[in-house]
Amino acid sequence: MNNFIFSYPTKVYFGKGCVREYLACLLKKQGPTVLLAYGGGSIKANGIYNEVSAILAETGKTVVEFSGIMPNPTYAKVQEGARLCRENRVDFILAVGGGSVIDCCKVVSAQAMTEEDIWEMEFSKRTYPTSFIPMGCIVTASGTGSEMNNGAVITHEEKKLKAGVLGAYNTFAMLDPEYTLSVPFAQVMSGAFDTLSHAMETYFGKPHDRGNLSDDLSEAVMRSVIANMRQLLKEPDSYEARSELMWASAMAENGILKLGKITDFQCHQMEHQLGAYTNCNHGQGLAVLHPVLYRHIYREGAARFKSFAVKVWGIDPAGKTDEETARLGVEALAEFIQACGLPTRFSEMGIPADTDYRAIADSCNLTAGCCKKLTREELYQIFLECR
């Protein structure tokens, strides 16, 4: 393993009823004015809004509402939230939702505490915020693992860039699997695939020429996600499957799988720019891209892809070359995606045929590559094959 330093600041409250049991006590430790952040209003339809609002009232908080956070949060929305915080002297931010709401709030937390433009700070000056409004989150849709780190994916519409911005850590994260029962099933599955993608992108990072504990844990997370996605296909309301997927999502992004690794998130970089140009669903975009990307690189990383095939998908390597076994693992992934009802082409996602894939490829970040560093021309060809 490579050298590392690990510290984890977020306290996790997991399980049925955790919000009712612990939120009031946690809020009593915070200041009087709370920014209550959420998305399109589904938490009002499913009762979560009323539950959380009652607890905020019980603890005597002045509530400032920040609603309408979109699935791919924009930089303009971040600035709106930061203005609300400054104008109302917000003491604490409570994000209620999935990864998009939490991501937006992590950057709001930082932007509200500085007059500098966070985007310019991080991407031009390479300086990062050090002051934040404290925040916590209640996860209603799992998959991104956003509650477990300080990274946030934000779309800058003017620049046509969707990129990772560093913001605040949550002081606490509340994960009640029952809250995911009101999420549309297609979103549950795309979120779960995002978790699988996080584990894969870490697993195929370096070093990958020898076994290590981080990779062993990644294999376990991947197997668990696959098994529980299959269980949901049979029993969509299964609390046990949803609870396992919710914790797998957290495990994939709390840093533990990445210890001693240099990760390879080329697929995420490609999907981010696809999203910047098309505003598409993140998990679905990853589901289309992953098999096509892996067909382009598995030969150069045959040994690692063989391990993926054998240890994650249960492929029998007997009588097969490493390359043949590796290929079967990639195809097992593709078959699983189709069986889950996830899209296999961009056209199935409603992405227009005249989308400028050349511009998307040319704007992507290029990673070091898990086993092969791709060129922008190769990214372009992969995008074309996914249409």
Domain boundary among 148, 178, 208: 178
162-to-47, 80, 264 alpha-carbon distances in Å: 32, 18, 17
C-alpha torsion sign, points 34, 35, 38, 40: positive
Q: In this predicted structure, what is the pLDDT of residue 239?
A: 97
Domain boundary among 156, 178, 200: 178
Integer-rounded Cα Rg, in Å, for the chain is 21
Packing angle, helices 322-339 and 213-234, rounded to 10: 40
- Our CA angle for 70, 71, 76, nearest 5°, is 40
Q: In this predicted structure, what is the pLDDT of residue 210?
A: 73
Q: Domain containing 371 — which CATH number?
A: 1.20.1090.10
169 and 196 in a single domain? The answer is: no
Q: In this predicted structure, what is the pLDDT of residue 335?
A: 98
215 and 313 in a single domain? The answer is: yes
Residue 340, domain extent: 185-385
Q: Which amino acid is at 206?
A: K
- Note whether residue 298 is domain-resident: yes
How many angstroms separate the CA atoms of 101 and 110, rounded? 15
- Note whether residue 231 is domain-resident: yes
Q: How many domains does the chain have?
A: 2
Q: In this predicted structure, what is the pLDDT of residue 61?
A: 98
199 and 52 in a single domain? The answer is: no
45-to-97, 142, 183, 242 alpha-carbon distances in Å: 13, 18, 11, 20
264 and 292 in a single domain? The answer is: yes
- Note whether residue 251 is domain-resident: yes
Domain boundary among 178, 211, 242: 178
- Note whether residue 347 is domain-resident: yes
pLDDT tens digits for the chain (387 residues)? Answer: 788 888 889 999 999 999 999 999 999 999 999 999 999 889 999 999 999 999 999 999 999 999 999 999 999 999 999 999 999 999 999 999 999 999 999 999 999 999 999 999 999 999 999 999 999 999 999 999 999 999 999 999 999 999 999 999 999 999 999 999 989 999 999 999 999 999 999 999 988 777 789 999 999 999 999 999 999 999 999 999 999 999 999 999 999 999 999 998 999 999 999 999 999 999 999 999 999 999 999 999 999 999 999 999 999 999 999 999 999 999 999 999 999 999 999 999 999 999 999 999 999 999 988 889 999 999 999 999 999
- Note whether residue 236 is domain-resident: yes
25 and 154 in a single domain? The answer is: yes
Neighbours of 343 (CB within 10 A): 22
Secondary structure (DSSP) of 32-55: SEEEEE-SSSHHHHSSHHHHHHHH
76 and 171 in a single domain? The answer is: yes
159 and 197 in a single domain? The answer is: no
370 and 250 in a single domain? The answer is: yes
Q: In this predicted structure, what is the pLDDT of residue 385?
A: 98
- Note whether residue 1 is domain-resident: no
How many angstroms separate the CA atoms of 72 and 155, rounded? 7
119 and 267 in a single domain? The answer is: no
264 and 374 in a single domain? The answer is: yes
Q: Domain containing 97 — which CATH number?
A: 3.40.50.1970
- Note whether residue 28 is domain-resident: yes
210 and 295 in a single domain? The answer is: yes
Q: In this predicted structure, what is the pLDDT of residue 208?
A: 73
174 and 200 in a single domain? The answer is: no
CB of 133 closer than 8 Å to CB of 51 = no
Q: Is 11 helix (H, G, I), strand (E, B) or coil?
A: strand
- Note whether residue 17 is domain-resident: yes
